[in-house]
């Protein structure tokens, strides 16, 4: 079945923009596998072993899983304590996003600032100029 993305969570769809080889359903499977990891620290191999056979056996899809993990690091859900290890900063992506959505909600409630500030008119008084320098000829 080809996933058109019409009934897919928009966050899953946005994560799909970063990975070319994984379908939206496969991205869901990766997130579910991440959520089921008990330890906070894991390797890519640990995660790959939890995924369906079609992903485990396809080298390009495994690479895309690594790219997806990199995207999750950029978002802040994961961190990378060493070259080959990953660490979950939150139990699930939804736990992480909950606080971010609340922060976004508070930003949206702030009154908008005007596009321009009212100009303050400041009068500047110059000293009266004297006739300038005069040179006397002797």
Whole-model pTM: value is 0.72
Q: Which pLDDT value is given to residue 38?
A: 87
Task: Say if 19 falls within a structural domain.
Answer: yes
Task: Say if 125 falls within a structural domain.
Answer: no
Task: Say if 131 falls within a structural domain.
Answer: no
Task: Say if 35 falls within a structural domain.
Answer: yes
Task: Say if 135 falls within a structural domain.
Answer: no
Q: Which pLDDT value is given to residue 1?
A: 41
The residue range of the domain holding 32 is 10-94
What are residue 42's DSSP bridge partners? 86
> What does the angle CA 62 – CA 100 – CA 65 come to, to the nearest 5 degrees?
0
Task: Say if 83 falls within a structural domain.
Answer: yes
Q: Which pLDDT value is given to residue 50?
A: 96
Q: What is the CATH number of the domain that holds 19?
A: 1.10.10.10
Task: Say if 31 falls within a structural domain.
Answer: yes
Number of domains in the chain: 1
Would you give per-residue pLDDT tens digits along the chain (138 residues)? Answer: 445 556 889 999 999 998 989 999 999 999 999 999 987 799 999 999 999 999 999 999 999 999 999 999 999 999 999 999 999 999 999 989 998 888 888 888 888 777 776 666 666 677 767 765 655 565
Residue 76: left if φ>0, alpha if ψ -120 to 50, beta else—which one?
Answer: left
Residue 59: left if φ>0, alpha if ψ -120 to 50, beta else—which one?
Answer: alpha
How does DSSP classify residue 138? -
Task: Say if 124 falls within a structural domain.
Answer: no
């Amino acid at each position: 079945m080809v996933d058109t993305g019409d009934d897919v969570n928009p966050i899953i769809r946005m994560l799909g923009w970063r990975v070319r080889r994984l379908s939206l359903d496969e991205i869901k499977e990766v997130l579910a596998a991440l959520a089921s990891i008990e330890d906070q620290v894991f390797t890519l191999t640990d995660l790959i072993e939890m995924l369906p056979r079609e992903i485990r056996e396809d080298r390009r899809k495994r690479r895309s899983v690594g790219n997806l993990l990199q995207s999750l690091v950029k978002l802040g859900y994961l961190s990378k304590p060493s070259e080959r290890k990953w660490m979950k900063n939150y139990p699930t992506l939804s736990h992480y996003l909950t606080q971010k959505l609340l922060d976004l909600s508070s930003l949206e409630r702030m009154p908008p600032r005007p596009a321009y500030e009212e100009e303050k008119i400041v009068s500047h008084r110059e000293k009266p100029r004297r006739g300038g320098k005069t040179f006397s000829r002797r």
